[in-house]
Amino acid sequence: MSTKRNGTLNKEIVWKAIKDAFKKLDPRIMARNPVMSVVEIGFVITLLLSILPNFFGGTSDRGYNIAVSVILLVTILFANFSEALAEGRGKAQADSLKKTKQDTKAKLFQKDGYIKIVDATELRKGDIVLVETNDLIPTDGDVIEGVAAVDESAITGESAPVIKESGGDFCSVTGGTKVISDFIKIVVTSDPGESFLDRMIHLVEGAKRQKTPNEIALSTLLVSLTLIFLLVCTTLVPIASYIKVTLPITTLVALLVCLIPTTIGGLLSAIGIAGMDRVTQFNVIAMSGKAVEAAGDINTIILDKTGTITHGNRMASAFLPVKGISQAKLNKVAVHSSLHDETPEGRSVIELAKKAGLSDKELDKAGTVGIEFTAETRMSGTDFSDGRKIRKGAADSIRQYIQQQGGKVPGDLESITNEVATAGGTPLVVTEGNCVLGVIYLKDTVKPGMRERFDELRKMGIKTVMCTGDNPLTASTIAKEAGVDDFIAEAKPEDKISVIKQEQAQGKLVAMTGDGTNDAPALAQADVGLAMNTGTIAAKEAANMVDLDSDPTKIIEVVAIGKQLLMTRGALTTFSIANDVAKYFAIIPAMFMLAIPQMKALNIMNLATPQSAILSALIFNAIIIPLLIPLAMKGVKYVPMSASKLLKKNLFIYGLGGVIVPFIGIKLIDILLVMLQVA
């Protein structure tokens, strides 16, 4: 099991956040948060009134002005602290990643074949380097020769080594990881400053993140509410003057600060940063906050079968000859078809034949040319210098190939392939020239716990679709065993894109997981593309999220975190706006009841004095921000349920709670202030 990154706070992070809270008082920085910027302007005005009590015709009560000024400053600092705290955790993670960037040396192959020791920073795309036991991999690349165990704990937190080998979807290596056995040759796939580790460091530094569309929309709403309450407070002056009531400027500032959505305004940035931080704690690197938010609204998930739902390394488990062909003949030709196949699948064919007693001389590649597998032909094989052409591939592709060669398909071939497919395996048909010799039975198994995971997604209202290049029978068996909602068999890369586009055309948001180069187009098309870290560079570059643990089921956690982010923002917005009701009943009566005794009827909290009422509301408005920081950082707990039930639950907790809690809090603070005055 993977080890999650440490997301806990420590004294160093908290102390730095406190210092950053003061640095963020810079008006140029505060301008990025219009709500808190208004509070800062209010602080400046009350500070001036504290120094010059009669400034702008203000009240001469210097102590009252100072108290309001201090409370406003504390409010701003608490809001800045929440943002700095969230940023601090991201920066701490970035610092831990930077430790893996050392002055690494690389063994670079020269044109003459000799090896030259160079700095890793001198490597460029296309260079070929040798990495041996106990060497750090200098930069990102693909393995082109050799097999090695690689320690990726510096990146993933996972202590178990990962086997990296040439061919297939497990050839990608990451700079900063370490080879702990054997050796590999890699071709460099990134220039300095463009490696995966460099991108990770940049992405987890939350201070540089861009606001998401939902966050921008909410910010616009908060600014609109602030302008509305500013107009309301401004119009109170002529109304009060008409009824011959003098409203102190300090009191008007206090009213404005209490009515505008300062709670959510102070926590909004922290919620977004913490959302990305929670994803990172699950060892998933999100390329943007937009991707995390989109995950919360996902309707459909497209999953690649091989390596995602199943273990991925399909291994040859049997050679099944057609009628009239000997077992020895099929074993020999099956090996010849895999001479140049460097994938785990191809090597398993050779290993199985060796166990069956095939001699090593049959592995001689002299006079042969390898034919690589392509998504179009869905075949691979070997051409011999004597004219022999041996192929292996999907049953339908081989049928077309045989017919083009003028051959006939054996009558029992279909029954053999159906038998393999029904058992959940993948049949690879082997042919020599225009003659079919038999079937290689490739066996792959569904990962444990997949059915339960897909049940969770169904509870979230998310549809799962499995895409595979296997035949319909094999696909049907795997789909039934795994518990997916739908499947697409014999899928080509363009088929995956087509499915995603069809879902998107219906107004749905689609997520896609994958690890291979052939998954890259679909990962780019999907609203949320989650690539596996063990996958190819192409897949990781196309996706907007990368799972460092290479666990495709992690998409469930990503979706839950996305929903949690949206819920947290909505819950705290509801709570913040609901707070205004209690503050209204605290401040409005206090402003007018001396001149209008009838206003005492609105003092339902029975607050002691007008000044204590205003100060109590202001103090509560300030302290509620740090009290909600843990919720903003951790997020509202998400439990799979229908949208209507979720809405009712959150309205009850954060809507009704947002009304009740301030009444209790303001009353308790008022009692405390009275006790302090008496003392």
User: What Rg do the C-alpha atoms of the chain give, in angstroms?
Assistant: 33
Quickly list DSSP for 613-656: HHHHHHHHHHHHHHHHHHHHHH-PPP----HHHHHHHHIIIIII
Q: What count of Cα atoms within 13 Å lies in the side-chain half-sphere of residue 229?
A: 23
535, 551 in Cβ contact below 8 A?
A: no
Would you say 513 and 308 are in contact if contact means Cβ atoms under 8 Å apart? yes
- Binding site annotation covers 454? no
Write out 35-88 in H/E/C secondary structure. Answer: HHHHHHHHHHHHHHHHHCCCHHHCCCCHHHHHHHHHHHHHHHHHHHHHHHHHHH
- Contact of 224 with 260, CB cutoff 8 Å: no
Report whether 519 belongs to an annotated binding site.
yes
- Is 375 part of any known ligand binding site? yes
Q: Is 378 annotated as a binding residue?
A: yes
Whole-number Å distance between alpha carbons of 248 and 29: 29
d(CA 638, CA 456): 12
Q: Are the C-beta atoms of 56 and 65 separated by less than 8 Å?
A: no
- Determine if residue 166 is labeled as part of a ligand binding site: no
Q: What secondary structure, in 3-state letters, does 596-618 show?
A: CHHHHHHCCCCCCCHHHHHHHHH
Q: Which residues contact 539 (CB under 8 A, 6 or more apart)?
A: 169, 514, 515, 516, 517, 519, 520, 523, 531, 532
Task: Please tell me whether 377 is known to bind a ligand.
Answer: yes
Are 492 and 279 a contacting pair, CB within 8 Å? no
* Rounded CA separation 590/236 (Å): 14
Instruction: Tell me whether residue 124 is annotated as binding.
Output: no
Is 379 annotated in a binding site? The answer is yes
| Residue 515 is assigned to a ligand binding site | yes
Separation of alpha carbons 550 and 164, rounded Å = 13
Compute the 3-state secondary structure of the chain and give helix, strand, coil in percent, each to the nearest 5: 55, 15, 30
277 is catalytic: no
Could you tell me the two tokens for 677? 């005055």
Q: 345 a known binding residue?
A: yes
Set 20, 304, 470, 527: catalytic member: 304
Of the candidates 467, 451, 458, 557, the one whose C-alpha atom is nearest the C-alpha of residue 512 is 467
The separation between the first and the last C-alpha atoms of the chain, rounded to the nearest angstrom, is 59
Laid out side by side, the sheet with 368-371 consists of 315-321, 435-443, 426-432, 389-393, 379-384, 368-371
380 is in an annotated binding site: yes
373 labelled ligand-binding: yes
**Which residues are known binding-site members for Mg(2+)?**
515, 519
Residues annotated as catalytic (active site), given as ranges: 304
**Which residues are known binding-site members for ATP?**
341, 345, 373-380, 392
**Which residues are known binding-site members?**
341, 345, 373-380, 392, 515, 519
